[in-house]
Chain A
Amino acid sequence: MQPGELPRTVLPEAARTAFVRMRGITKSFYGARANDGVDFTLQGGEIHALLGENGAGKSTLMNVLTGLYQPDSGEIAIEGHVRRIASPADAIEAGIGMVHQHFKLVPAFTVAENIHLGWNETPFRLDPASLAARTQALSDRFGLAVSPGARVADLSAGEQQRVEILRVLARGTRILVLDEPTAVLTPAEVRALFAALRAFRADGNAVILISHKLGEVLEIADALTVMRAGRSVATGSTAGASRSSLARLIIGDTAIPATVARNETDVPGAQAVPLALRGVSVRDHRGIALLDGVDLDVRAGEILGIAGVAGNGQRALSEVLTGCVRPDAGDVLLDGDASGPRGAREFADWGVGHIPEDRLRTALAADLPLGENAVLRDYRGDAAGSGPFLFPRRLARLARRIIDDAAVNLRDSRIPARNLSGGNQQRLVAERERRIASRVLVAAYPTRGLDVGAVAALHAGMQALRASGVGVVLISEEIEELLAQADRIAVLFAGRIAGILPVAQADAERLGLLMSGQVLPEPVS
């Protein structure tokens, strides 16, 4: 608890009516039981973490609470009264609001318009100035900084999320549900979010927080519930819990995967540079520089970490490294060669895998079945057909294998990718891209949304690629992850490489300085 914060009033157990009491909630999707008799209790004035593996049923349970899904059986009591929550509107009326794992804002609308969309308190006569003023007032009241006139499409993930939260809080929410809110936030944005949540709690409200980041859970949550395979398996206070005790609760009896450490051995032929950038600049459609004169060598058998606060050119960097975007100036060298017209196809065929930051919009066709998403790369290879022809049987077999190897929890390859849980979508993309990365893998925030076990598996996979001589580019905001996995760490600031440190010379403090645009006191190798 922060110094200076008010101690929470603790009432005797009997006198407290739980804010939310869910009993025996069962929800199955044809053939699969996402929730299986789940009990969940939320007290007023607490931040309650909901934990569990990918596909454990956390998002489903919250979708039931917020009226998006109807449970097959079970009951929900809000402040002691059993209620049927038939729609999100009912949930809002009951004071429950949710920010989803995948944002649901309208990108073409402004912040103010998004906040006032579908809200019964929106004034009948609309003019932009009064909408903006109302939005500003809300922003001040809840301590969430947003710029009312900005278009949502132009906002960073953190800003979009503040808009989502503000939108929910504006409707008089007393129970705020956040589904993996910190997955896409910078550390500073996380701090701001947590401060706002603490203030919200201090007013006697409650928060349900779904997260895979156990450190954050320990920092902010008062209570926790752990789900496994659709059931709630543990619940209690966070007092006395540790990361490893939580991890054990989440994964169950399965051995806890050791944090994968960097492989210190050098890989033979490691001096080769399969992919390099020379003076690369990329501009957006308004002519603003996203990357500005970047020089970068991706070496074989090396994990090159890219540190930096999101929004400093990471997306452009990953796109330029994978041929999705051609630089406006400078060269992208494949094996030292800059010649030839090259796009995403040529890069992929040459052996560059790409885990993009926005899996649901870029890496997956969400409405198409799992099977077709799984073979999005392999459909072109010899294993799937010959010449212009494709052999559906072989393609189905390939899809089967990729889905199995990805350890996705839904095995029916005909189910639309949209219906996978967030972490399982990420697993599928990671496995598909790992397979084609025979030379280079560019991974942007690859552990986003993954549970503890899957993070370890992904890191092990990257180390294995490194050992086989593949160059891995790991774009991440988590300095800990970079220090543990990478051989060298480049820091991206305002579209430029602010410095490149061998991991032996890197520490959180130095990286932090570079990330905030300051110059290191001593020369950097």
Chain B
Amino acid sequence: MRGFVVQRVPSVSGRVRNAAYAVSALVAVFVAGLLLAALGLHPLALGGSVLKQSLGSRFGVQDLLLLASPLVMCGLSVSLMLRVGLWNIGADGQFYVGAACAAGVALFGPHGSPLLVQITMGLAAMAGGALWIAVPALARLLLGTSEIIATLLLNFVARLGLDWLVTGPWRDPHGMAAAQTARIPDPLPKLPRDWHLGGLHWGLAVVLGLAALLAAAFRFTRWGFELRICGANRDTAAYAGMNVRRRLFQAMLLGGAIAGLGGMLELSGTVHRLQSGLSNGYGYVGIIVAVLAASSPLGCVFTGLLMALVLNAGLVLQTQGVPSSAALALTGLILLFAAIGERLAHYRIVPTRPVAGAGGVA
């Protein structure tokens, strides 16, 4: 008798998982197309214009990369904390605080060599981001307060604080706009012209470098191993002699610092001034980026690009008369299908009887 059964496999290789994600993304796009068709639109034409505008020209690609950078940074921040089993819902707030600290240095700090200014801005932003998460971190470690709620609530504080800064004390005295500072004097330099990515700044290299660095730290250091054990089972980590609290605290502070640095890059590379709504929800999208990447830092680069494409698609669709909530729905669809795909990747169809003659030894 031969038959087939569906079985669950305990572990899945990275390649299978990636394939599952790719298929899920396609399915999500397909379903989105069906929905658009149901709205009486032409999904193929719309899809074509999305692709043409995002990937069809050098400007489109540059825009995509610029949008992806903060998403990847927030994704890395969330990933690092997920590694120790904690949720950073507050990357948005840390991003804002980082940007504000960097702007403070740029606008009011001493003038020096451009490189020195950028480094100081980066350090200030990282310190700000780390400080912003230090309170939830300490509350978590000393009192057991949920980091999810605490980091989330601080987002609103950061956003409102920044609004106050840019409409109040730091408001550009000569500008027309109500809620922004003056341009910062020395922004991040652009990439060299002959790389044919003229619109992009050095922040992109920082993002990629940081992703590689984190990936290496996870894989090639004892510290990375300890983070993973602390994330899987804190009792086991303590039993094995790891300093669990210290590792959790380090991961949280570093996560905050990375999100803060993301804010600095956005400010100094792309926007060039502090303004209300600088983050546009990047911190929240970063959660999706990290989850889709299964908290792998290199994976975040790809899922960050994917999410940038999705957000861009939303903008393009809006210009074509599709409601803005449709883009949000598309994001949700992708997340939903990716989650389903990840689960399904664990299943295999196997024959119940071995091929005759394969030997009877169990």
Q: Are A390 and B220 neighbours in the complex by a CB distance under 8 Å?
A: yes
Segment with Cβ contacts to B, from A160-168, A366-374, A486-494: A366-374
Q: Which residues of A contact B1 (CB under 8 A)?
A: 73
Candidates B224, B240, B243, B350; contact of A30 at CB < 8 Å = B350
Candidates A26, A377, A390; contact of B224 at CB < 8 Å = A390
Segment with Cβ contacts to B, from A207-215, A257-265, A412-420: A412-420
**Which residue from chain B places its CB closest to the CB of A343 in the assembled complex?**
B241
Interface SS majority for chain B = mixed
Candidates B9, B219, B237, B362; contact of A230 at CB < 8 Å = B362
Contacts between the two chains (Cβ within 8 Å), count: 98
- CB of A72 closer than 8 Å to a CB of B: yes
Q: Are B223 and A388 neighbours in the complex by a CB distance under 8 Å?
A: yes
- CB of A278 closer than 8 Å to a CB of B: no
Q: Which residues of B contact A388 (CB under 8 A)?
A: 221-223
Q: Are A416 and B11 neighbours in the complex by a CB distance under 8 Å?
A: yes
Given A30-B9, A72-B352: A390 and B239 within 8 A (CB)? no
**Which residue from chain A places its CB closest to the CB of B354 in the assembled complex?**
A33
Q: Are A367 and B233 neighbours in the complex by a CB distance under 8 Å?
A: yes
Alpha-carbon distance between A241 and B224 when the two chains are bound, in angstroms: 54
Q: Are A372 and B228 neighbours in the complex by a CB distance under 8 Å?
A: yes
Q: Are B232 and A392 neighbours in the complex by a CB distance under 8 Å?
A: no
Q: Which residues of A contact B222 (CB under 8 A)?
A: 379-380, 384-385, 388-390
Interface residues in A54-98 (C-beta closer than 8 Å to B)? 70, 72-73
Between A and B, 12 residue pairs with Cβ closer than 8 Å are: A30-B7, A229-B362, A323-B241, A324-B238, A344-B240, A361-B233, A367-B232, A372-B225, A372-B229, A380-B222, A388-B221, A416-B10
- CB of A376 closer than 8 Å to a CB of B: yes
- CB of A362 closer than 8 Å to a CB of B: yes
Interface residues in B166-184 (C-beta closer than 8 Å to A)? none
Given A388-B221, A390-B222, A391-B220: A377 and B240 within 8 A (CB)? yes
**Which residue from chain A places its CB closest to the CB of B237 in the assembled complex?**
A365
- CB of B236 closer than 8 Å to a CB of A: yes
- Interface residues of chain A, those whose CB is within 8 Å of chain B, are 26, 28-30, 33, 36, 70, 72-73, 229-231, 323-324, 343-349, 354, 356, 361-369, 372, 376-377, 379-380, 384-385, 388-392, 414-416, 419
Interface SS majority for chain A = mixed
Q: Are B7 and A29 neighbours in the complex by a CB distance under 8 Å?
A: yes
A233 to chain B minimum Cβ distance, whole angstroms, is 12
- CB of B58 closer than 8 Å to a CB of A: no
Q: Are A376 and B219 neighbours in the complex by a CB distance under 8 Å?
A: no
Alpha-carbon distance between A26 and B3 when the two chains are bound, in angstroms: 13
Q: Which residues of A contact B235 (CB under 8 A)?
A: 361-362
> Which of B232, B240, B350 has the largest count of A CB atoms less than 10 A from its CB?
B240
Alpha-carbon distance between A33 and B361 when the two chains are bound, in angstroms: 10
B237 to chain A minimum Cβ distance, whole angstroms, is 8
Q: Are B232 and A415 neighbours in the complex by a CB distance under 8 Å?
A: no
- Interface residues of chain B, those whose CB is within 8 Å of chain A, are 1, 3, 5, 7-11, 219-225, 228-229, 232-233, 235-243, 348, 350, 352-353, 362
Candidates A26, A33, A324, A380; contact of B239 at CB < 8 Å = A324
Instruction: List 13 additional A-B contacts (Cβ < 8 Å) besides A29-B10, A368-B228.
Output: A72-B7, A73-B3, A230-B362, A231-B362, A324-B238, A345-B243, A363-B239, A367-B232, A372-B225, A372-B229, A385-B222, A392-B220, A419-B10
Alpha-carbon distance between A73 and B354 when the two chains are bound, in angstroms: 13
Q: Which residues of A contact B362 (CB under 8 A)?
A: 33, 36, 229-231
A231 to chain B minimum Cβ distance, whole angstroms, is 7
**Which residue from chain B places its CB closest to the CB of A70 in the assembled complex?**
B5
Q: Are B240 and A376 neighbours in the complex by a CB distance under 8 Å?
A: yes
**Which residue from chain B places its CB closest to the CB of A410 in the assembled complex?**
B10
**Which residue from chain B places its CB closest to the CB of A30 in the assembled complex?**
B9
Q: Are B238 and A376 neighbours in the complex by a CB distance under 8 Å?
A: no
Alpha-carbon distance between A362 and B229 when the two chains are bound, in angstroms: 12
Alpha-carbon distance between A419 and B7 when the two chains are bound, in angstroms: 14
**Which residue from chain A places its CB closest to the CB of B361 in the assembled complex?**
A229
Q: Which residues of A contact B243 (CB under 8 A)?
A: 343, 345
Alpha-carbon distance between A182 and B8 when the two chains are bound, in angstroms: 31
Q: Are A369 and B11 neighbours in the complex by a CB distance under 8 Å?
A: yes
> Which of A30, A354, A377, A379 has the largest count of B CB atoms less than 10 A from its CB?
A30
B74 to chain A minimum Cβ distance, whole angstroms, is 26
Q: Which residues of B contact A72 (CB under 8 A)?
A: 5, 7, 352
A460 to chain B minimum Cβ distance, whole angstroms, is 26
Q: Which residues of B contact A372 (CB under 8 A)?
A: 225, 228-229
Q: Which residues of B contact A345 (CB under 8 A)?
A: 241-243
Alpha-carbon distance between A362 and B237 when the two chains are bound, in angstroms: 8
Q: Are B233 and A392 neighbours in the complex by a CB distance under 8 Å?
A: no
Q: Are B236 and A363 neighbours in the complex by a CB distance under 8 Å?
A: yes
Candidates B3, B229, B240; contact of A348 at CB < 8 Å = B240
**Which residue from chain A places its CB closest to the CB of B224 in the assembled complex?**
A390
Alpha-carbon distance between A466 and B175 when the two chains are bound, in angstroms: 82
Closest 6 CB pairs of A and B: A345-B241, A365-B232, A344-B241, A365-B233, A30-B9, A72-B352
Candidates A70, A367, A390; contact of B225 at CB < 8 Å = A390
Q: Which residues of B contact A364 (CB under 8 A)?
A: 233, 236
> Which of B5, B236, B352 has the largest count of A CB atoms less than 10 A from its CB?
B236
B359 to chain A minimum Cβ distance, whole angstroms, is 12
Candidates B219, B232, B352; contact of A73 at CB < 8 Å = B352
Alpha-carbon distance between A349 and B240 when the two chains are bound, in angstroms: 10
Alpha-carbon distance between A399 and B224 when the two chains are bound, in angstroms: 17
Alpha-carbon distance between A83 and B205 when the two chains are bound, in angstroms: 63
Candidates A28, A363, A365; contact of B350 at CB < 8 Å = A28
Alpha-carbon distance between A324 and B244 when the two chains are bound, in angstroms: 12
Alpha-carbon distance between A415 and B8 when the two chains are bound, in angstroms: 12
Q: Which residues of B contact A231 (CB under 8 A)?
A: 362
Given A230-B362, A389-B222: A26 and B7 within 8 A (CB)? no
**Which residue from chain B places its CB closest to the CB of A413 in the assembled complex?**
B11
**Which residue from chain B places its CB closest to the CB of A319 in the assembled complex?**
B239
Alpha-carbon distance between A388 and B239 when the two chains are bound, in angstroms: 20
**Which residue from chain B places its CB closest to the CB of A414 in the assembled complex?**
B11
Alpha-carbon distance between A384 and B238 when the two chains are bound, in angstroms: 20
Q: Which residues of A contact B219 (CB under 8 A)?
A: 390, 392
Q: Are A365 and B229 neighbours in the complex by a CB distance under 8 Å?
A: yes
Q: Which residues of A contact B9 (CB under 8 A)?
A: 30
Alpha-carbon distance between A345 and B219 when the two chains are bound, in angstroms: 22
A50 to chain B minimum Cβ distance, whole angstroms, is 18
Q: Which residues of A contact B229 (CB under 8 A)?
A: 365, 368, 372, 376
**Which residue from chain B places its CB closest to the CB of A419 in the assembled complex?**
B10
B291 to chain A minimum Cβ distance, whole angstroms, is 17
